[in-house]
Structure 1
């Protein structure tokens, strides 16, 4: 199919948006579709038919199209405040209506979705106990995930980690997770890692710890 009007040549907004997102994985495509003006080999200057490239903040593509049968169409990609939105409009009666309706659709999208970072890399989210009287070990997030979520659906963060960690422990060792949910849907699971290395005491250290612990308990019984 060449995209021109013909029996059986049909596309939905979902089809077009899906294809646009696929091709935008290629750097050369992203570079081309955000250009307003280009000069081709014979010196002829071409100007984009994507009017929103001149007027809508954050837009970086993607494609317009028009035939007598399909009307005026466009798939737009916009990035603002950590949120990327693709919007497709098909079958507009004219170019100005297409532009105005697509702006309304994009504005609605940005009013309904927000970019969040519910977990911050390096931040302490838990402390786990260690054996042999060692100081508790801080567990920090290994990454900072970026999520795009509806503005009216709160997120729930759950921290999962062992109450006591076995020694030895290496710095960066995964010992738990921070899980981010929206309702019952798991959106992200970020590893919790050890903030420092902790060795297992040698034989003398373990014997000394057990002796001190025994004396402590005996003193408690006497008193």
Structure 2
């Protein structure tokens, strides 16, 4: 009976995305008493959080405890409310679990067909208190199936099993998670487990989760399409992805949902429209429908209020930099591919900063300074200034003559 229920879920999701099953429970249909308990557990909507943004009209006000909108290309925060408050991340934690698996696959430490054992500790007992991939006890599953079970099915069993496989224990894996969080610059995060199950010390922030989402999209391109998969069947049990926007918005291609009673309903999403990718984070809102609606509102607001700007074309000369003690006195300098996301209609100005006392030799492609972009009087991005030609070091007598001229200010 349970399997029949599971097989119908993707259809239910596609028809009514707002009625998705919470991440903290399995897909087995609970008894009526449990259903009533779950309904009661849904928290009232948090007080609307007004956001900060550079847009003249201000940011939307969303009934979530914290939220954030990030430009993927630059990593710039376009709008946010309480972005650095450490909060329970629930199953959003599994983004770090999956990211570590993806990086291990990329480096060769893991292979897709490696077998992962399911211990007593990792095994889900079929209760309705947690989400499961339904790995049988003492069975083995391939790494790539485990990865899908983490991302699509939000399996706590899959997360624990791979943690034990990679680090010997979930505690050891949490140390790897925290080391990676530190490397990425996630300064308000502390992981205690691989699943996001409640623990007073297990916290993350909207900004940190956006940083992690950006790293997944940027560094796990071979595996990122899994985050857009709507369903996954394992052990003859089909389960649907809980990200409602995957069923209703074709521009959305990830990333992860989360829910516990303490964390509320959470969602990290990425959407790409007309060449611009935005990342959203919604933390601690009141329902599955609310997290989808608020994400949709934030994405629509972001794409309506921001646009891409390209201050310079790649390979175009931006400036001519003076070079001391070279066979040439100057070198042309430019930037690589560089685009910014700025409020619509705002002009972008740039300033060039060349390294002081630039001396030959200078290699083509060397970074010799930076270009800073401003909009409405505020910095909106910067990029490296790159030498567009080689400048060889002058011979002894020419350098001596140049020093003489410098001495007399000529």
- Do these two structures clear the TM 0.5 threshold for a shared fold by scoring above it? yes
- Cα distance in 1 for partners of 2:263, 2:362 equals 63
Change (3 A) 1:166 1:29: closer
- Cα distance in 1 for partners of 2:356, 2:263 equals 62
Could you tell me the TM-score, scaled by structure 1's length? 0.63
Q: Name 1:104's counterpart in structure 2.
A: 297
Q: Does 1:91 align with 2:286?
A: yes
1:12 to 60, 65, 71: 65
Q: Does 1:123 align with 2:316?
A: yes
The answer to whether the 8 A contact 1:128-1:162 is kept is no
Runs of 5+ consecutive residues of structure 1 not aligned to the other structure:
208-223
Q: Which has the higher strand share?
A: 1
- The Cα shift of 1:51 comes to 2.6
- The Cα shift of 1:164 comes to 9.7
The answer to whether the 8 A contact 1:169-1:194 is kept is no
- Cα distance in 2 for partners of 1:21, 1:34 equals 17
Q: Name 1:76's counterpart in structure 2.
A: 269
Q: Which has the higher helix share?
A: 2
The answer to whether the 8 A contact 1:157-1:179 is kept is yes
- Cα distance in 2 for partners of 1:137, 1:82 equals 37
- The Cα shift of 1:99 comes to 4.2
For the residue of structure 2 that corresponds to 1:62, the secondary structure is strand
Change (3 A) 1:140 1:36: same
For the residue of structure 1 that corresponds to 2:373, the secondary structure is strand
- Cα distance in 1 for partners of 2:302, 2:249 equals 14
- The Cα shift of 1:127 comes to 2.4
The answer to whether the 8 A contact 2:372-2:379 is kept is no
- Cα distance in 1 for partners of 2:324, 2:257 equals 65
Could you tell me the TM-score, scaled by structure 2's length? 0.38
Give deviations 1:44-95, integer Å, cap 9, x for gaps: 1112232321231321223345679988654422233233221427225x73
- The Cα shift of 1:128 comes to 4.3
2:256 to 46, 51, 63: 63
Change (3 A) 1:32 1:130: closer
For the residue of structure 1 that corresponds to 2:286, the secondary structure is strand
The answer to whether the 8 A contact 2:332-2:387 is kept is yes
The answer to whether the 8 A contact 1:127-1:136 is kept is no
For the residue of structure 1 that corresponds to 2:304, the secondary structure is helix
Q: Name 1:221's counterpart in structure 2.
A: none
Q: Name 2:228's counterpart in structure 1.
A: 34
- Cα distance in 1 for partners of 2:246, 2:238 equals 17
Runs of 5+ consecutive residues of structure 2 not aligned to the other structure:
1-22, 25-37, 47-63, 68-86, 90-205, 402-410
Q: Name 1:218's counterpart in structure 2.
A: none
Computing the radius of gyration over CA atoms, which structure comes out larger, 1 or 2? 1
- Cα distance in 2 for partners of 1:109, 1:154 equals 18
- Cα distance in 1 for partners of 2:358, 2:296 equals 54
- The Cα shift of 1:165 comes to 6.6
The answer to whether the 8 A contact 2:323-2:360 is kept is yes
Change (3 A) 1:131 1:198: same
- The Cα shift of 1:36 comes to 0.3
- Cα distance in 2 for partners of 1:38, 1:77 equals 20
- Cα distance in 2 for partners of 1:64, 1:150 equals 29
The answer to whether the 8 A contact 2:280-2:295 is kept is no
For the residue of structure 2 that corresponds to 1:143, the secondary structure is coil
- Cα distance in 1 for partners of 2:324, 2:261 equals 76
Q: Name 1:196's counterpart in structure 2.
A: 390
| Matched positions, count | 202
- The Cα shift of 1:18 comes to 4.1
Q: Does 1:180 align with 2:373?
A: yes
